Structure 1
Amino acid sequence: MTEDKEVKVSTTDPDSGYMYREGKPEGFFYLDHRTVDVKYNLVTDVFVTAGNVHDSVPYLSRLDRQLQRFGFAVEAVALDSGYLTTPICKGLEKRKIFGVIAHRRFHPTQGLHPKWKFIYDAERDLYVCPQQQELSYRTTDRHGYRHYASDPKQCETCPMLEQCTRSATKRKVITRHIWEDSKEQVRLNRLSKSGKRLYKKRKETIERSFADAKQLHGFRYCRLRGLNNVMEQALMTAAVQNMKKIALHLERRA
């Protein structure tokens, strides 16, 4: 029997979502997922969701909408660490788009070896632990994760057992998504010279776009309740920002 997860609902604005993130304010919010172009920093897409919707959920559908509606020839995208998911990495690969996504810092269980210490052997499809024991493939779960497990007979005599697993069966299990190769390619993109240059542009484009909306256009707070009203505010704000950008660009050309 599975327990139903309790979802907090606002009594004054049920469309909003309760957001809890490290380093962020806690409460009922809306999220504006926007896209800008790297050349002129024009807002090309705006989409509002409740605050409890993860950033990565609407991304690929919004990307496809822009490709279809405007006919953009998107060659590369730069995203923050919230978008480092296997579906997004695989989606960018299928669309032949060079993806650069910030590194997400995971906090392993204190006292245990982090996953990166277990080396994946692609040719033999297995992991090798720091003590050179092999973790062979066992099964694939319904979420697309392949499970690799050690031999408990070898683990029980290993001097590093306490730093490896706390399982009662003395078996170490490592999981790897079936699209993990796509995520590893995105990591390599981030470390490349062109990837570093592209990601640096994020601070000059999307971050500045959000900062301008908050500081100069009252976008720090929702003026009305309800998803449709917040979406209207987001679209109007982006339209005004684009008008300013276009006017400045035309002035420079003149």
Structure 2
Amino acid sequence: MDTLVPKDHLLRKIEKVMDYDWLYERLEGYYCHTNGRPGTDPVVLIKMVLLQHLFGIPSLRQTYREVQVNLAYRWFLGYGLLDEIPHFATVSYAFCKRFPEELTDEIFQHILNKALNNGDDDSENGSGGTTEKTVSTTDPDCGMFVKGEHERQFAYEAHTACNKRGFVLGVQVTAGNIHDSVAWDELYTTITRRFNDIRYAVMDSAYKTPWIAKRTIDDGIVPILPYTRYKGAKGSYRPWEYAYLPEKDAYLCPQGAELRHTTTDKDGKRVYRSTPKNCRDCPYKAKCGANEKGQKLLTRHIWQFYLDAVECIRKTEDAKCIYAMRQQTIERVFADAKEKHAMRYTHHRGLTAVTRWVKLKFAAMNLKKLAVWSWKDSFLLLLSLFPIRVFHKTRHPPCLAAF
């Protein structure tokens, strides 16, 4: 059997970097060795799930069928040509009923540790409330995901962070109607507690909120976020056209009228209002958006300073260079997960089951990348034993975590 599996097959590379002894120790208490018939090797069950996620097989039922006819899969499980493969129901039962719930996260963390200890320990650049009331009758844990005017469907969201090499550092699974900025806090806390050398956090526009800007800057992490287009009425004055007067805590409109601070609302926005008698007869009243009484209202968040700092950072050359890496890191992770690892749709129901499924998916992706890179490194080491000039790799920019 061993001679039939190519030497450069992905599963050979995985076997070279993965160890399973800790799984036997971890699961020993879940099997009885003195009573009943012998159980199926737990590592074999875990390997079958890894096969499903490594090769993007839609279901365990189909994985079971593929293992029956694929020699490399049988070799990976340690089974011969005539050995009976464990039934897919046995695998499903083990993960749903027998194995502890935290096993999935432990497998993910174990593979991530191996990846980071394999020379990828530089993780720099480190996702609202629910308003949709529609509830699924088949899976109440999911939420109505709305994108644009036409796409509406029940879904889950996997809020994910990776490092500059594309290794997934953490994931937070929520219902599809939870805004990215709401799920961001828990994911950010988990990652920053574990990786204290993060210098940059690269995020998309959904995370461009005052709280996220404040927390990252206060933690000494540089937030890098994209440009967001102003959504106000066309032809009206833009907020930045109003001059702020710090000594008076007031704003001056383009026509010279003063807007004084009157109150601060529960969302942390300071409200500035103009005097109606000064604006009632202004010819630019329509352009500034004053109400019928001739009063202009302008709001500024109490943490607007942090958003202004984010804008200044965005315009630097270093920030532009680092943000451009998103297409090679987190965007590549999402694309591979959907196109190569069957993550576009899920057959599972319930937040717990979907979270377990997503973490196993990302664990398999990390394992695949680790195995391929380790095999390349060993190949380069072999080349170095011969008098062949090998060029050094270019230096990577500083550590980053992308969301």
| Distance in 2 of aligned mates of 1:65 and 1:6 | 27
**Partner residue in 2 for 1:114:** 238
Local SS of the residue matching 1:57: helix
Cα 1:49–1:85 change in 2 (3 A) is: same
How much is the aligned-residue C-alpha RMSD, in angstroms? 1.7
Long gaps (5+) in structure 1: none
Cα displacement (A) at 1:105: 2.2
Aligned to 2:314: 190
- Looking at structure 2, the residues matched to 124 and 99 of structure 1 have their Cα atoms a distance apart, in angstroms, of 30
Identify the residue that residue 145 of structure 1 maps to in structure 2: 269
Match of 1:236 among 339, 344, 360: 360
TM-score, normalized by length of structure 1? 0.92
Report if aligned partners of 1:147, 1:175 keep a CA contact under 8 Å in 2: yes
Identity percentage over the alignment?
35
Answer yes or no: is 1:167 the counterpart of 2:291.
Answer: yes
Deviation at 1:25, TM superposition (A): 2.3
* Residue equivalent to 2:340: 216
Tell me if structure 1 keeps the 8 A contact 2:290–2:297.
Answer: no
- The DSSP-based 3-state class of the residue aligned with 2:368 is helix
Judge which range, 5-14 or 238-247, deviates more: 5-14
* 2:282 corresponding residue in structure 1: 158
Alignment of 1:27-66 (within 5 A): 27-38=153-164, 40-66=165-191
The structure where strand makes up a greater share of residues is 1
Give the aligned length: 248
- 1 CA distance for matches of 2:261 and 2:352? 48
Change (3 A) 1:239 1:77: same
The match for 2:138 is: 12
Residue type of the partner of 1:188?
A: C
5+ residue gaps, structure 2, are 1-130, 379-403
State which of 329, 352, 356 in structure 2 corresponds to 1:205: 329
CA contact (8 A) 1:31 1:48 kept: yes
Going from structure 1 to structure 2, the CA distance change for 1:82 and 1:24 (only over 3 Å counts) comes to farther
Counterparts of 1:46 and 1:210, CA distance in 2? 12
Inter-partner Cα distance in structure 1 for 2:308 and 2:182 = 20
Structure 2 counterpart of 1:47, which letter?
Q
Specify the SS of the correspondent of 1:167: coil
Deviation at 1:166, TM superposition (A): 4.4
Between stretches 24-33 and 172-181, larger displacement belongs to: 24-33
* The one of 152, 161, 164 aligned to 1:26: 152
Q: Say if 1:100 and 1:190, in contact at 8 Å, map to a contact too.
A: yes
- Contact 2:205 / 2:226 at 8 angstroms: preserved in 1? yes
Which residue number corresponds to residue 72 of structure 1? 196
Query: Within the alignment, does 1:82 sit opposite 2:203 as a pair?
Result: no
Q: Which moved more, 1:230-239 or 1:206-215?
A: 230-239
AA in 2 matched with 1:30: Y
Q: What is the TM-score with the length of structure 2 in the denominator?
A: 0.59
CA distance in 1, matches of 2:172, 2:150: 20
Deviations 1:113-169 (A, max 9, x none): 232322333444222212122212111112111111112111112110111124122
Given candidates 200, 203, 217, the residue that maps to 1:93 is 217
Q: Choose between structure 1 and 2 for higher RCO, CA contacts under 8 A separated by at least 6 residues.
A: 2
Give SS of 1:26's match.
strand
CA distance in 1, matches of 2:347, 2:185: 28
Larger Rg over CA atoms: 2
